[in-house]
A = this chain, B = another copy of it.
Amino acid sequence: LLVSVATPGCDGFPSLDSKESCKYWGLEREQPCSLLPCALCVQYYVNETEIVDFPRFRHRGLLLDTSRHYLPLKAILQTLDVMAYNKFNVFHWHIVDDPSFPYESVTFPELSRKGAFNAITHVYTASDVKAVIEYARLRGIRVIAEFDTPGHTLSWGPGAPGLLTPCYSGKNLSGTYGPINPILNSTYEFVTRFFQEVSAVFPDFFLHLGGDEVDFTCWKSNPKIRAFMQEMGFGDDFTKLESFYIQRLLDIISSFGKGYVVWQEVFDNGVKVRPDTIVHVWKENATPYMQEMAQVTKAGYRALLSAPWYLNHISYGQDWMEAYQVEPLKFEGSPEQKDRVIGGEACMWGEYVDVTNLTPRLWPRAGAVAERLWSNATVRNLQDAYVRLASFRCELLRRGIQAQPLFTGYCDHEFSGF
């Protein structure tokens, strides 16, 4: 059985510009499922066949959140396996957030020592991180790490004294903390050293810098912050203070030769970003997300869509259909604007998800998003997609992946890992 793949080899890391179009002759490991009943592959001979396959969008990502709940290394690696089966090519690792800081930093080991749920059992060591990156690379998956600032950083506080803004209750310190303190030089010294490490550890050209949901309450309560606002002429507009921080952060990241992805607020607030910035659209309300896609691309930035693909939002029934029916380019805009939509990401935020329910909640639902991002815009028939997804789900069970059913029925090989 002769298998040849026309795409050249894959030493080095995949990137946003990696060519993913392939020409297959004969059979490739993952491919034959669309040609043959898979369990029978090994016993079959196939007439010469030619497959030309290429993705519609270059960035087909999946976000996991390892801060709200810790996910063991094994769960991340298994997710990368299933991502590869689905032709996802970006693992967006939302690694730290308010609730916990599981990333073990070499430069600032106190961050996880004091910020992880458990400094021994609930952390990602340098070698864990390397393992994830290499496992992903071998599957053609990029790892984009997100260290979200200046909000979503409560867990940074205990290990980085002075980094967060102390909140006030009237004239007194309240004992609680807010976002990163943007008015101190020490903040930027810390941020520089921390992101220098992160830039080295994660080889992808892009970092995700977050920038979403900054709560101004604490900043407003702090007299030193208010004085700084006056001094800078920001008036009462705290988005200006936020932008002041983000601006400096972006310059720091640029100085390390990295590109960045930011959540849409950074764009909405008018922060001056580099022209090659990727804006990540996630809000479902306020500005309808398709309007946001139009605005982002009209401003010349590249856009990533996640708003309709929050897979942590569950409902009764076949909710994959809604995710599948999304058309990422369905907004008013020029062909150039459409070209700036580089893809999207399915998100599995962790408020209600940990290793006990991650896999069934993710698969095969995320497969609907994967197909939307890979296949031609004309591939939209729900009945056909159901048949593919249901049969793919049975394949997952055969491989020991705890993927949940789409609807009533059974598979020849049921999940055996129970």
Contact of A117 among B72, B100, B410 (CB under 8 A): B410
Please encode chain A, from 157 to 177, with 1 for each CB lying within 8 Å of some chain B CB and 0 for all others.
000000000000000000000
Bound Cα distance A316, B70 (Å): 20
| Copies per complex of this chain | 2
Q: How far is the CB of A356 from chain B (nearest CB, A)?
A: 5
Q: How far is the CB of A148 from chain B (nearest CB, A)?
A: 15
Contact of A70 among B318, B404, B406, B410 (CB under 8 A): B410
Interface residues on A, range: 35 or more
CB atoms of B360 and A414 under 8 A apart = no
Known: A408-B350, A410-B118. A402 touches B316 (CB 8 A): no
Bound Cα distance A408, B405 (Å): 26
Contact of A408 among B121, B318, B351 (CB under 8 A): B351
CB atoms of B313 and A316 under 8 A apart = yes
CB atoms of B356 and A409 under 8 A apart = no
Q: Could you say which residues of chain B place their CB within 8 Å of the CB of A408?
A: 68-69, 99, 350-351
A residues lining the B interface (CB < 8 Å):
68-70, 72, 74-75, 99-100, 117-118, 121-122, 312-318, 350-357, 359-361, 397, 402-410, 412, 414-415, 418
Sample of 16 further A-B pairs with CB below 8 A, known A314-B315, A352-B407, A357-B405: A68-B408, A69-B405, A69-B409, A99-B409, A117-B409, A117-B410, A312-B316, A314-B314, A315-B315, A316-B352, A352-B406, A353-B405, A356-B402, A356-B404, A357-B360, A357-B402
